[in-house]
């Protein structure tokens, strides 16, 4: 289990840096120059599940061109390079699923 994880909570805006292996890039039709690359995903944490155990996950949501995109990241995965906290908001709920249907 990773020990260097920041204390992330629902309501935090985070940047998650994830390693993408070359085999996944080759399937997508990209050239295989690098063995792996880092992909960044920035968004709002709407849920954290499974506490501090090995299977802990966070659900990160962002809106791209008017379409909501959610990704679930296992916190202790070796593919997660680092997690940066961009902004911290105070929220009164443990799960922010109501943001899925919020009209902005």
Tens of pLDDT along 54-83?
Answer: 999 999 999 999 999 999 999 999 999 999
> Distances in Å between the alpha carbon of 50 and those of 46, 74, 81, 82?
14, 10, 20, 19
In this prediction, residue 3 carries a pLDDT of 85
Question: Is the distance from CB of 30 to CB of 22 less than 8 angstroms?
Answer: no
**How would CATH label the architecture of 12-99?**
Roll (2.30)
Which 3 state secondary structure label does DSSP give 19? Answer: strand
pLDDT (tens digit per residue) in 86-103: 999 999 999 999 999 976
Q: Cα–Cα distance between 35 and 38 in angstroms, integer? A: 11
27: CB partners within 8 A, 6+ apart: none
pLDDT (tens digit per residue) in 10-42: 999 999 999 998 776 566 666 656 688 999 999
Backbone angles phi, psi at 25, to 5 degrees: -70, -35
């Amino acid at each position: 289990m990773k020990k260097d994880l920041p204390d992330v909570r629902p309501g935090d805006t985070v940047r998650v840096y994830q390693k993408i292996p070359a085999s996944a890039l080759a399937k997508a039709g990209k050239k295989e120059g690098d063995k792996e690359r880092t992909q960044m995903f920035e968004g709002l944490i709407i849920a954290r599940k499974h506490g501090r155990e090995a299977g802990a996950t966070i659900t990160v949501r962002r809106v791209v061109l008017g379409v909501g995109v959610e990704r679930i990241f296992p916190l202790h995965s070796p593919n997660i390079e680092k997690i940066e906290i961009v902004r911290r908001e105070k929220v009164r709920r443990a799960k922010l699923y109501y943001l899925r249907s919020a009209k902005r």
